[in-house]
Amino acid sequence: MKTYDVIVAGLGAMGSATLYQLARSGVKVLGIDRFDPPHDLGSSHGETRITRSAIGEGEEFVPLVLRSNGIWSELEQATGNELLKKTGLLIFASGTESSVMHGADILHDTIRIAKAFGIAHEALDETGLKQKFPNLAFETGSRGYFEPGAGYLRPELCIATNLSEAQRLGAEVSTGETLIAIESAGSTVKVTTDHNNYECGKLVLSAGAWIKKLLGPRVGSGEFRIFRQAMFWFETEADYSEAHFPVYLKAGDDERSSYYGFPSIDGANSIKAGFEQFDSETDPDSVDREVTEAETDAAFELVSKSFRIRREGARAKTCLYTVTPDFGFVIDFLPDADNVLVVSPCSGHGFKHSAGIGLLAKQMVSGEEPYANVSKFRFRA
C-alpha cells in the first residue's frame, strides 16, 4: 500500500492549487482525479473567470482574493504563463431594481466593501455609465460600480500551471482514478479508489460537484446542492474587445435576471455571458450538458437589452455549481474526522479565490496558523 503525508482528491481549481502549495512545502503528496484536468465536466472551464477585489458576497472573502492575486503573479513570473488579465470590472443595475447575486445586494455591498478595504473604484450614476460605456444601453436611473484593478483569469491554464508546477516540485499525480471510499482511522486516512489503496496522514477532499456523493450522510442533506448552469457566447455588433471593455456583472432584481460576462478576448468577435439558476438541482453523473435553443433564446433576449449582439452563431456550454445554503464556502475538517479537510463547495464564485484557498488548505493540514479567518467557512452546526 502506498503512503503519503497528504492526498488531494480532486484536482480542479481548489485541488490543483492545494497540490501546488503542498509540493512547495516539501511534503510527500499525491493528487488524484477521476478525469484528466483541466477538463470541461465540472466547475472550472469556459475560457474565463472573473476576478475582483471588492467582494460584495462578504468581507471574509477579500483576504482570499488579495492573496490569490499575489500567487497568480508569482506563478506567472515562474512560468511565463499569463493567468490574469486586468480589464476592469463593471457592475450595473437599474435604479428601480435590487442587485441580487449570490444572496447579496451585490452592487450596494461591493461599494461598501471597496470603501472599507480601500480598493480603488468609481461609483457611477446613469450619466457616468453612459459616458464611460457608450456601447451599452442603460435603463433610466441605472447605477454602477467600476473597479479598474479587476479582470479575468484563464481557468484551464491556471489549473494546468498549478499541476505542472506541483509535479516539478515533486508531487505525484494520478488521473483517471475514481475515489470510492475514505476511512479515517486514528492518525491515518485510508483511501480506496477503483485502481489502488492508499494511506495518508491528511486527506484534502476537493471533488467539486461530486463531493456530495462522496460524503453522503456525513454532512447534512441540504449542505451542498448541485446546479447546472449555462454559459453563452454571442457575436457582437459593437467594440467590446478587452482593450476597450471590462468584465461585467448585470445585477437584476433576482438571480434569473442577473448575469455576468466577459469582453471579446484573443481577437474573437464575441462576448461571453453566464447565467445562474438555483431552482433545479442535478446529478453530476447524469447532468444534461446540451443547451437548448430555448435557453439560448432567453439568454439572448436578456443580454441584448444592454449589449449590441447577434443571435445567429451563438454557442454555449454548461458547468456545475456546488452551493451552500448561504452561498458561502466550506473549508473545514469533517465533523467526525479531523484529518479530512473538505475544500471546494464555493457556490459559483470561488475560482478567483482558489490560489489563496490552496495556501489556506496547505496551512490547515500542516497545522500552521491560517493567514485568513476561516470561522465563516466551517460546516454548519
- Condensed to tens digits (0 to 9), the pLDDT of residues 318-360 reads 999 999 999 999 999 999 999 999 998 899 999 999 999 999 9
Same domain, 261 and 315: yes
Same domain, 189 and 118: no
Q: What is the DSSP string of 218-249?
A: GS-TTS-EEEEEEEEEEEESS--BTTT--EEE
Take residue 292 and report the three cell numbers written for it.
437548448
Better pLDDT: 102 or 264: 264
Domain assignment present for residue 82? The answer is no
Measure the CA–CA gap between 204 and 68, rounded to whole angstroms.
19
Same domain, 264 and 359: no
Domain assignment present for residue 80? The answer is no
Same domain, 101 and 184: no
pLDDT of 220 higher than 90 = no
pLDDT of 246 higher than 80 = yes
Measure the CA–CA gap between 151 and 51, rounded to whole angstroms.
5
Same domain, 140 and 231: yes
What SS3 class is residue 325? coil
pLDDT of 100 higher than 90 = no
The CATH number of the domain where 344 resides is what?
3.50.50.60
pLDDT given at position 97 = 65
* DSSP-derived pairing of the beta strands 337-343 and 331-334: antiparallel
Measure the CA–CA gap between 106 and 251, rounded to whole angstroms.
7
Take residue 267 and report the three cell numbers written for it.
481577437
pLDDT of 381 higher than 80 = no
Number of domains in the chain: 2
Q: Please identify which residue in the block is written with the cell numbers 484536482.
A: 11
pLDDT of 153 higher than 70 = yes
The CATH number of the domain where 232 resides is what?
3.30.9.10
Q: What is the DSSP string of 87-150?
A: --EEEEE-TTS--EETTEEHHHHHHHHHHHHT---EEE-HHHHHHH-TTS---TT-EEEEETT-
Take residue 287 and report the three cell numbers written for it.
447532468
pLDDT of 213 higher than 70 = yes
Same domain, 190 and 305: no
Average pLDDT over residues 270-276: 97
Cis geometry, peptide bond prior to residue 38 (ω within 30 degrees of 0): yes
Measure the CA–CA gap between 82 and 154, rounded to whole angstroms.
8
Same domain, 209 and 243: no
Same domain, 301 and 162: no
Same domain, 210 and 229: no
pLDDT of 256 higher than 70 = yes
Take residue 32 and report the three cell numbers written for it.
488524484
Percent of the chain with pLDDT over 90: 91
Radius of gyration, alpha carbons of the chain: 21
Domain assignment present for residue 81? The answer is no
Percent of the chain with pLDDT over 70: 99
Domain assignment present for residue 373? The answer is yes
Same domain, 159 and 248: no
pLDDT digits (tens, 9 = 90+) for 126-146: 999 999 999 999 999 999 999
Average pLDDT over residues 298-310: 97
Domain assignment present for residue 64? The answer is no
Same domain, 215 and 332: yes
> Domain residues for 264?
87-148+224-323
Domain assignment present for residue 140? The answer is yes
Domain assignment present for residue 335? The answer is yes
> Are 197 and 183 a contacting pair, CB within 8 Å?
no
Measure the CA–CA gap between 175 and 168, rounded to whole angstroms.
17
Neighbours of 134 (CB within 10 A): 10
The count of residues in the chain is 381
Alpha helices per DSSP H over 155-266: 155-168, 211-215
Measure the CA–CA gap between 211 and 224, rounded to whole angstroms.
8
Measure the CA–CA gap between 73 and 84, rounded to whole angstroms.
8
Same domain, 215 and 229: no
Domain assignment present for residue 17? The answer is yes
